[in-house]
């Protein structure tokens, strides 16, 4: 008896595609994930890219995390992991200041987000095409 796994984060204000792309056919679904791996594990995946988008939107790691139902601790670790693996940093953080600080994407960060979505869209089309012929 296995309980349904809890979603990794709550979709909040935006209509969010699921982290697992899926295609249903007669009771079965072809699902899948893709991600880009760097020198030390995952570099960019669905959740990380959504996080980057939220950071760009809110200008803050903590607000981005909260908007996804993700702990700040986890979000920070993801940001750190991304920046440590990127050739050029994708995220710029600043501490202190009038508003306490903030975080924004670099140009490379915006390009990375766009690049990932491009591949992800093709992946969804792949699942769509191949999932149509499931018979078990």
Closest CA to 89 of 69, 112, 106, 68: 106
Residue with smaller CB distance to DNA, 3 or 87: 3
Q: Which of residues 39, 40, 96, 136 is near DNA by CB under 7 A?
A: 96
Q: Does 95 bind DNA (CB under 7 A)?
A: yes
Q: Which of residues 40, 87, 99, 136 is near DNA by CB under 7 A?
A: 99
Q: What is d(CA 84, CA 97) in angstroms, rounded to the nearest whole number?
A: 25
- Mark 13-52 with x for binding to a copy of itself (rule: CB under 8 A) and - for no binding: ---------x----xxxxxxxxxxxxxxx-xx--------
Q: What is d(CA 85, CA 80) in angstroms, rounded to the nearest whole number?
A: 9
- Neighbour-count burial for 94-126, b at 16+ CB within 10 Å, e otherwise: eeeeeeeebbebeeebeebbeebeeebeeebee
Task: Tell me the site size for a copy of itself, rule CB under 8 A.
Answer: 34
Q: Does 40 bind DNA (CB under 7 A)?
A: no
Q: What is d(CA 112, CA 41) in angstroms, rounded to the nearest whole number?
A: 17
**Residue 122 contact partner, candidates DNA, a copy of itself, none, CB within 5 to 8 A by sort of partner:** a copy of itself
Residues of this chain that bind a copy of itself (CB under 8 A):
2, 22, 27-41, 43-44, 86-87, 108, 111-112, 115, 119, 122-123, 126-127, 130, 134-136
């Amino acid at each position: 008896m296995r309980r349904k796994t809890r979603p990794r984060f709550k979709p909040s204000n935006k209509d969010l595609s699921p982290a697992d792309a899926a295609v249903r056919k007669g009771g079965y679904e072809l699902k899948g994930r893709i991600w880009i791996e760097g020198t030390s594990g995952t570099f960019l995946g669905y959740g990380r890219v959504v996080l980057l988008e939220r950071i760009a939107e809110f200008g803050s790691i903590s607000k981005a995390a909260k908007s996804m139902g993700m702990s700040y601790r986890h979000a920070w670790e993801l940001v750190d992991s991304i920046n440590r693996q990127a050739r050029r940093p994708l995220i710029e953080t600043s501490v202190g200041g009038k508003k306490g600080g903030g975080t924004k994407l670099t140009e490379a960060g915006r390009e990375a987000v766009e690049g990932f979505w491009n591949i992800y869209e093709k992946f969804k089309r792949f699942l769509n095409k191949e999932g149509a012929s499931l018979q078990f």
